[in-house]
Structures are given as structure tokens and as C-alpha cells.
């Protein structure tokens, strides 16, 4: 067996960002830019009024007199408004400032009398209320660096520059394979010795938290040839394959043998941890394979601790999420043995509490848990208030 730290280092070393693809910017929210994006235009593309009011030239306007309004610049006008020296132009927010005008006075600071305006406030400083062409970004400047996570604001910004498509790191295609003769699907009547299969739906739900959808979900009986064929099919279309169950050392645990049959390079097998000691990681070509335990709680714990970092790195994120905290225990806690434990926990009022039902076959603790509490191999007796490492579940996709 290897340590938790060694297992994570091996995964980190052996996975990397997928080759970039070009995709419409409108569909790219949640992706990471693979290449820098440069502005094809100035933004704003013209001198633009920031207010409803009147455009004028500061040096040429005498506010001690009535000022003639002799034109209109409306938002969206494509024909340039003619500006006459000493006069003003009625203008609206977002409209183009006519050539020759250098300032906009807001409409509340003047009074309109017929076709003239009279100042009723202090005159604005030269340049007031104008968004200069290129004041947000100039043509050919970098609008977004490679590695930028595209969110709604960034997408809107780039769309506003007229950019239609960008190079991004794609999402990996993921296959889920569930093994086990005892498993039956929802809607079936349970026979003696059977249980409802939940791992596939649980992993699908967990992937949705990272805006991922499995490419395929397949099922295999505890038969070596069937498991081998099912994994082979998944490898043909997926960059990540998650196999649950059949990875231990029982007479009907054939997943390890199936990996061997297919020529998968074993990166490690078995980790000094609880739950999920019989964890397998391997590679075949460009596909990363995980042999996860069969017990649902073990599956989900291993998913958060090992699969998510691998998927993050494939998508261009950092390997580790920004979800690690160090918090005081809310009560005395103890563990047996020398394995690293991942315990379902709940953060409440600045303390972390260990949930009831930590056995690997029990998922009920996850109904209360919002984190995994990491008890290190050497930690056994921990007192209330002692600081422990905590991995929050809701932040596993944050950078």
C-alpha cells in the first residue's frame, strides 16, 4: 500500500489538460481558455456618452448665454451627427459623441427653453460623462489570458468585443461502469440477496456539480469476460473510466484482472486509507482509469479525494481545489489503527463535527455532511478544540 499523499502525487504527475478545442463563445461558460484572447476592436468603439444630456465643446461654449441645441445623437444612430461650434447636441446614454464635442452635461443641470439650454448648475469639467474610445480595452490588447475560467461576466465581455469563438480546454468524456451480481435497478422488486444499485446515479449527480455529464453508464455482471469487454468499450470513447466494485481480492472480483487483460498500466493499487483502501488507478493510452470500491460511501469519498482532482487537471484547473480548511473539532474524536481516515463531517459555527454512520456501506452520513474530515495516519485520540484538516464538499470545483 501507498500513502494518501503518494497516491495523489502519482495521479497529479500522470494526468494533464486535454488538447484544446475551438468552440462558440456562447457555449463556453465554465470552460478554461487554452489561449489568450486579443481585442479585435476598441471598446467602446467610439467616444460614448455616459449620461442623458447635452454634448458640447468646453472651450467654445459660453454658459453665460443661452446655448443653441441644434442636433440629436440617439443611441444606435449609425449616421454621424454634425456638431456646430458653440452649440450643443442632445445626446443619450450610449450614443456617439459628435466630433468636436468633448464634454457631456447631464440633463438635470440645464433648463430647456425652446431650442436653447440654460445652465442651472456648475459647468462640468472638460471630458466629463464621456466614455472614451478604447477606454475599456484597445484593439490588439489582451482581453483574457490563457487559463482564465470563463464565467458569465467574461463571456459577456468577450462577446461585446465581437468575438465569436475561443480555444478552450474541453471537458473529459467520462464512462461509469458498475459491477456486481447483487445489484438491481430502480423499479425492480428486490429478491433475497439483492440491493438497489445507486453508484451510477450517485456519481452522475456528483459529476453534475462540476458541470460534467457521463458519456456512458454501463453495467456488468461478476464475470471476467463481461467486465473486460465493458471496460474495453468505455476506453474506446472516454478519457476517464470509473469502475465501481470488483476491485478487491474476492473470488468474484475481476476488475483488476480485466485491467490486466486490456494492458492497462497500473499506477497504484491500495492506499493506506479508510474508507476505500482497495483503490486502483491506471492508464491506457490517453484514458485514465479508476477502480473504485463497491460500497457507496467509499465510492463517493474516493471520488471527491482522487477523481475530482484528476478531472480538474484534465479541464485545465489546478489539481487541488480551494476547499481545504483547518478547523477545531466540536467534540472528542477517536479512530483506530494507522490508516488515514476520511470522515463525513459537518461544519457548524466555526467547528467541525463528525457525523453518525461512518461505515463504508452507509451513505446516510452524507445527508448531513458538508465536508470530509481528514484524520492523519498518526492521529488517534483527538480532543474537542483540536485543529483538523477539512475538505469542504461544495467547494471542490473552486480555484
State the Cα–Cα distance between residues 151 and 320, nearest whole angstrom.
Answer: 20
Return the number of other C-beta atoms located less than 10 Å from residue 80's C-beta.
11
Give the global pTM.
Answer: 0.88
Residues 6+ apart with CB under 8 A from 49: 55, 73, 91, 92, 93, 94, 95, 96, 97, 104, 129, 130, 131
State the Cα–Cα distance between residues 203 and 179, nearest whole angstrom.
Answer: 14
Cis peptide before 217 (omega within 30 of 0): no
Q: What is the pLDDT of residue 399?
A: 82
The DSSP-derived string for 201-238 is HHHHHHHHTTT---SEEEEE-S-HHHHHHHHHHHHHH-
> C-alpha angle with apex 337: 323 to 304, nearest 5 degrees?
25
* Residue showing cell 441644434: 70
pLDDT in tens, the chain (399 residues): 999 999 999 999 999 999 999 999 999 999 999 999 999 999 999 999 999 999 999 999 999 999 999 999 999 999 999 999 999 999 999 999 999 999 999 999 999 999 999 999 999 999 999 999 999 999 999 999 999 999 999 999 999 999 999 999 999 999 999 998 888 888 888 889 888 899 999 999 999 999 999 999 999 999 999 999 999 999 999 999 999 999 987 787 899 999 999 999 999 999 999 999 999 999 999 999 999 999 999 999 999 999 999 999 999 999 999 999 999 999 999 999 999 999 999 999 999 999 999 988 889 999 999 999 999 999 999 999 999 999 999 999 988
State the Cα–Cα distance between residues 8 and 333, nearest whole angstrom.
Answer: 26
How many residues are there in the chain? 399
- Radius of gyration, alpha carbons of the chain: 31
State the Cα–Cα distance between residues 251 and 27, nearest whole angstrom.
Answer: 48
Q: What domains are there in the chain, each with its CATH number?
A: 4-18+171-314 (3.40.980.10), 21-43+135-169 (3.90.105.10), 48-131 (2.170.190.11), 324-392 (2.40.340.10)
Pair 75, 92: CB distance under 8 Å? yes
β-bridge mates for residue 22, sequence order: 167
Amino acid at each position: 500500500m501507498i500513502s494518501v499523499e503518494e497516491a495523489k502525487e502519482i495521479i497529479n504527475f500522470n494526468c494533464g489538460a486535454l488538447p484544446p478545442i475551438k468552440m462558440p463563445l456562447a457555449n463556453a461558460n465554465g470552460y478554461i481558455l487554452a489561449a489568450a484572447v486579443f481585442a479585435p476592436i476598441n471598446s467602446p468603439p467610439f467616444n460614448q456618452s455616459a449620461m442623458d444630456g447635452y454634448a458640447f465643446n468646453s472651450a467654445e461654449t459660453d454658459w453665460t448665454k443661452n446655448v443653441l441645441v441644434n442636433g440629436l445623437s440617439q443611441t444606435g444612430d449609425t449616421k454621424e451627427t454634425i456638431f456646430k461650434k458653440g452649440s450643443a447636441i442632445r445626446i443619450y446614454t450610449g450614443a456617439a459623441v459628435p466630433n468636436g464635442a468633448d464634454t457631456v452635461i447631464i440633463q438635470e443641470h440645464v433648463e430647456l427653453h425652446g431650442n436653447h439650454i440654460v445652465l442651472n448648475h456648475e459647468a462640468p469639467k472638460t471630458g466629463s460623462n464621456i466614455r472614451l474610445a478604447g477606454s475599456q480595452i484597445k484593439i490588439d490588447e489582451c482581453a483574457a489570458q490563457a487559463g482564465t475560467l470563463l464565467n458569465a461576466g467574461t463571456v459577456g465581455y468577450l462577446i461585446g468585443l465581437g468575438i465569436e469563438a475561443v480555444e478552450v480546454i474541453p471537458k473529459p468524456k467520462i464512462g461509469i461502469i458498475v459491477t456486481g451480481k447483487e445489484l438491481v435497478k430502480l423499479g425492480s422488486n428486490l429478491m433475497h440477496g439483492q440491493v438497489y444499485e445507486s453508484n451510477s446515479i450517485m456519481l452522475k449527480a456528483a459529476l453534475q456539480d462540476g458541470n460534467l455529464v457521463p458519456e456512458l453508464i454501463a453495467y456488468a455482471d461478476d464475470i471476467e469476460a463481461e467486465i473486460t469487454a465493458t471496460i474495453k468499450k468505455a476506453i474506446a470513447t472516454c478519457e476517464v473510466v470509473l469502475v465501481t466494485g470488483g476491485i478487491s481480492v474476492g473470488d468474484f472480483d475481476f476488475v483488476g484482472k480485466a485491467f490486466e487483460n486490456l494492458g492497462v498500466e497500473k499506477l497504484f493499487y491500495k492506499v493506506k486509507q479508510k474508507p476505500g483502501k482497495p483503490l486502483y488507478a491506471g492508464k491506457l493510452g490517453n484514458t485514465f482509469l479508476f477502480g473504485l470500491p463497491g460500497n457507496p460511501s467509499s465510492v463517493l469519498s474516493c471520488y471527491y479525494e482522487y477523481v475530482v482532482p484528476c478531472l480538474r487537471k484534465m479541464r485545465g484547473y489546478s489539481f487541488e481545489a480551494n476547499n481545504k480548511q483547518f478547523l477545531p473539532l466540536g467534540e472528542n474524536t477517536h479512530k483506530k489503527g494507522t490508516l488515514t481516515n476520511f470522515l463525513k463531517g459537518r461544519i457548524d459555527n466555526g467547528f467541525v463535527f463528525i457525523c453518525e454512520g461512518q461505515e463504508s456501506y452507509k451513505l446516510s452520513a452524507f445527508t448531513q455532511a458538508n465536508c470530509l474530515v481528514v484524520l492523519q495516519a498518526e492521529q488517534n485520540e483527538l480532543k474537542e478544540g483540536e485543529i483538523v484538516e477539512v475538505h469542504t464538499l461544495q467547494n471542490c470545483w473552486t480555484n
